Structure 1
Amino acid sequence: MAGTHRQPEVNIGLVGHVDHGKTTLVRALSGEWTDQHSEEMKRGISIRLGYADATFRRCPEEEAPECYTVEDHCDEHDVDTEVARTVSFVDAPGHETLMATMLSGASLMDGAVLVVGANEEVPQPQTEEHLMALDIIGIENVVIAQNKIDLVDGEGARENYEQIQEFVEGTVAEDAPIVPVSAEQEINLDVLIETIEEEIPTPERDPDADPRMYVARSFDINRPGTTWEGLTGGVLGGSLVAGELDVDDDLELRPGREVEEGGQSEWQSISTTVRSLQAGGEDVDTVTPGGLLGVGTGLDPSMTKGDALAGQVAGHPEALPPTWESFEMEVDLLERLVGAEEGETIDEINTGEPLMLTVGTATTVGAVTSAREGECEVNLKRPVCAETGDVIAINRRVGARWRLIGIGRLQG
């Protein structure tokens, strides 16, 4: 039935080098730009995670792949199209200093589309870094979109295709299908949709599990000058990874916020209520895992503005993982820095050095208090809420920026 709405049931990351056309591809598939921040509009790159929902549809009168579309109506056969599936695209920034944002977004992804520009050499530095992030976090359902084929001739496209095949050897994307497309000219999008439908299935989820939401964004939706009677509570944006969440549920956020008491400061969880839920752009009473959602809360909007609560974990009171101010982790270092020259190896982690750690959607800096081969202990500047065994992306300061050097597993 045309116009049927469904909550998005799967999160698909769009990853790849800056300017290879990820955001244009989202617009072609969903009709929305994911660059929603004014700063991003100016710079033309996604700073924070952008996201947009897309409903894939099928024309009942057409064979695959031509049947796949995002339009409500098939003009050629003059029939309404049928909903196949609604997905959420997470557009991860390709700008090099924003790797931490990409990694925090990766924790929300069930699969990924790696966008590679056909008009540039493969790999570009961020293409390599993003693929490594997918490898680290273990995202195995990958589709490669060879974009901008309208800018190269047949021979150039073939050469680029072979470079991509060589580049993904030995990674999670080794057997990933490569689909040549032009997002700008909307060429081959039906084949891309069919490939996503086949390669990135909706994961099985347990509806009876305790609800758990990774908060990736938070905002104040009130306009300047709103009177206090008209104020709406703060909004959380992110993804429910387990369980179900209903309007009027009690909600706890960990690690919460830092509170000063008697000259001492400690982190306390935040309690609130779910006032409204939005999924796929519509108000709903219940949300299930999959897709990106907005949760209207009873929180003072000043607490949520400007992504202040990004990195929190939300769920029912007393049902969340513990909050850690320090922990021990197993460490597995990469063989070399991404994009580094051959022979440039990564040094062991040293006691006293600062590391930037990404756990779920939280990014924090930790000082290493003890380091042995294969493991280290860190004191965190800002605590995180996480389970034992969770994967941690480890970044070290190299020159003027943080670089991915390995992964950790939280031991406790």
Structure 2
Amino acid sequence: MPLHPTNLPDQTAPVSEIHPLHPQITARQATLNIGTIGHVAHGKSSLCRSLSGVNTVRFESEKEHNVTIRLGYANCKIFTCESCPEPHNVFSFNSAAADPKCPNCKQILSLTRHISIIDCPGHDEYMTTMLSGAAIMDGTILLVAGNEQCPQSQTVEHLQAIAIQGDKPVVICQNKIDLIAGQVNAAEQNMEQITNFVKGTIAEKAPIIPTSAVRGLNVDMIAYHLSKIPIPDRKLDQSPIFTIIRSFDVNKSGSKPENLSGGVVGGTLSQGILKIGDIVEIRPGIIEIDGDNIKCYPLKTKIVSLKTEDNELNYAIPGGLIAVGTLLDPSITKSDRLVGQVLGIPGSLPPIMRRLKISFHELQTSIIPTGFMALTQEIFQIDQSILLTVSGCNSTAKIESVNFEGGKIQFVVNLTDKPVCVGFGTYVAVSVKNAKLQSRNWRLIGYGVIVNDEEIYKEVFIVDENEVK
């Protein structure tokens, strides 16, 4: 049975032959995750809409205040005209586009990249949401409003947040250039501010593109630079690890039992390949907490469908937001009940942990007061609550112990809401609420690495691998 939509190539190639640029992959699935970051109201959602044709502001609360609150996702395809000269030979279309023609010479365009755009909220109240998106980005577009001073507070914090994940490509969008068109030297002065701001950061060598996202001005140049971003090693030969960021029940109220579909989980693959028919495990699964006693029941099920936006898939590789249809009781997956859990092949997933030992590294930014290290003993206290962003999901924790020896900080935390399935060496973002930082919201102050320590990771709860609920 052909996959929907039928105007796109079917997925018939053997799994052993597929790779991120295989035509049957890129035609249907995004293979590169690009985040839009920057201060509130600098045009992130507008740029997403210009590139993809999709409005990422979808929820009523967002529309009411005209502000992004949750992570928005939109796929777009980047096509190149082989007959026209660079750089004005690159164009973006929505993910359903099959064989568009060059608007200049009318030749059929070649598909270069299929990109998933992650639209992050810019308001500081939603910084934790931005951090969860940063964990899956392969590159970023940093938006800076040309009609405001640079940098603004969230411009600084967002740039620091993406640096936690390593040195990844950045494209800088000097947006709203149309609003200062009549002001002498305004664009040049703003450009100089941007250049000075990014010195010494991962964005120091990033191209700076003057744009107007709402007018579509120079959006093709953004697409051109996105087409040059390399696709990371996806480790397709390794066991799949799929982080769940949404879960839901797709059945309409009143559906007859014989017409019910199994639960669906949405998320991102960090490595490996998922295929229809795979038997998979979800960890931690169903969690029972009775005081200090925790019992986890990992869920085992079968993949019956794979989908990204409106495109059906036979197999999925890392990149974009994937919906995985299962045989699970939909009551288990409804209302995001499995958010933060991990899906993969049984026996291949990381351990389930409630206590973590973390080696901490502070951020050096203008948003953190001078002499921050002198404040660490006040910030990191026993029983202090902190927020950890682990594999794209936020978890509150309480500090059990702290070690400040040798100019380094290590602490042990106990997750207060639920255990996590995470591997050693994983990077986590660390946020706190503290009067010394003059913040009533969670404030990003640094990152940590999960350290392997046998004393910490003794089995403190029961994981029953055989009993499945």
Confirm or deny: 8 A CA contact 1:122 1:160 kept in the other structure. Answer: yes
Q: Tell me which of 58, 72, 78 is aligned to 1:56.
A: 78
SS of structure 1 residue aligned to 2:79: strand
Q: Tell me which of 287, 292, 306 is aligned to 1:258.
A: 287
Q: Which has the larger radius of gyration?
A: 2
More strand, by proportion: 1
Letter in 2 for 1:179: I
Q: Which residue does the alignment assign to 1:106?
A: 134
Identity %: 39
Confirm or deny: 8 A CA contact 1:6 1:280 kept in the other structure. Answer: no
Give 1:130 deviation, angstroms: 0.5
In 2, the alpha carbon distance for the partners of 1:16 and 1:257 equals 37
In 2, the alpha carbon distance for the partners of 1:167 and 1:261 equals 50
Q: Which residue does the alignment assign to 2:446?
A: 406
After superposition, the Cα gap between the structure-2 partners of 1:256 and 1:47, relative to the gap in structure 1 and judged at 3 Å, is: farther
Instruction: Calculate the aligned-residue CA RMSD, in Å.
Output: 2.2
Confirm or deny: 8 A CA contact 1:8 1:280 kept in the other structure. Answer: no
Give 1:261 deviation, angstroms: 8.1
- Residues 247-270 of structure 1: per-residue CA shift (max 9 Å, x gap): 121121222231268995423322
Q: Provide the TM-score with structure 1 as the length reference.
A: 0.93
Q: Which residue does the alignment assign to 2:250?
A: 221
Q: Which residue does the alignment assign to 1:20?
A: 42
Q: Tell me which of 11, 29, 40 is aligned to 2:51.
A: 29
Give 1:286 deviation, angstroms: 0.6
Q: Are positions 1:235 and 2:253 aligned together?
A: no
After superposition, the Cα gap between the structure-2 partners of 1:206 and 1:341, relative to the gap in structure 1 and judged at 3 Å, is: closer
For structure 1, which segment, 215-224 or 273-282, has the greater mean C-alpha deviation from structure 2 after superposition? 215-224
Q: Provide the TM-score with structure 2 as the length reference.
A: 0.82
In 1, the alpha carbon distance for the partners of 2:80 and 2:233 equals 23
Q: Which residue does the alignment assign to 2:391?
A: 360
In 2, the alpha carbon distance for the partners of 1:35 and 1:189 equals 19
Q: Which residue does the alignment assign to 2:91?
A: 69
Confirm or deny: 8 A CA contact 1:14 1:92 kept in the other structure. Answer: yes
In 1, the alpha carbon distance for the partners of 2:151 and 2:292 equals 52
Q: Which residue does the alignment assign to 2:23?
A: none
SS of structure 2 residue aligned to 1:302: helix
Q: Which residue does the alignment assign to 1:39?
A: 61
Give 1:97 deviation, angstroms: 1.8
In 2, the alpha carbon distance for the partners of 1:261 and 1:378 equals 19
SS of structure 1 residue aligned to 2:192: helix
Q: Which residue does the alignment assign to 2:21?
A: none
Confirm or deny: 8 A CA contact 2:28 2:313 kept in the other structure. Answer: no
For residues 178-257 of structure 1, the aligned pairs below 5 Å read 178-198=208-228, 200-257=229-286
After superposition, the Cα gap between the structure-2 partners of 1:39 and 1:300, relative to the gap in structure 1 and judged at 3 Å, is: farther
Confirm or deny: 8 A CA contact 1:390 1:410 kept in the other structure. Answer: yes
Q: Which residue does the alignment assign to 2:363?
A: 334
Q: Which residue does the alignment assign to 2:186?
A: 156
Confirm or deny: 8 A CA contact 2:90 2:224 kept in the other structure. Answer: yes
In 2, the alpha carbon distance for the partners of 1:157 and 1:263 equals 59
In 2, the alpha carbon distance for the partners of 1:37 and 1:300 equals 27
Letter in 2 for 1:304: T
Q: Which runs of 4+ in 1 moved over 6 A?
A: none
Q: Tell me which of 355, 378, 392 is aligned to 2:428.
A: 392
SS of structure 1 residue aligned to 2:361: strand
In 1, the alpha carbon distance for the partners of 2:334 and 2:167 equals 31
In 2, the alpha carbon distance for the partners of 1:35 and 1:293 equals 19
For residues 118-157 of structure 1, the aligned pairs below 5 Å read 118-153=146-181, 155-157=185-187
Unaligned runs of 5+ in 1: none
In 2, the alpha carbon distance for the partners of 1:94 and 1:330 equals 28
Confirm or deny: 8 A CA contact 2:8 2:28 kept in the other structure. Answer: no
Q: Which residue does the alignment assign to 1:174?
A: 204
Give 1:87 deviation, angstroms: 0.9
In 2, the alpha carbon distance for the partners of 1:159 and 1:230 equals 62
Confirm or deny: 8 A CA contact 2:28 2:311 kept in the other structure. Answer: no
Q: Which residue does the alignment assign to 2:325?
A: 296
Unaligned runs of 5+ in 2: 1-6, 10-26, 94-99, 453-469
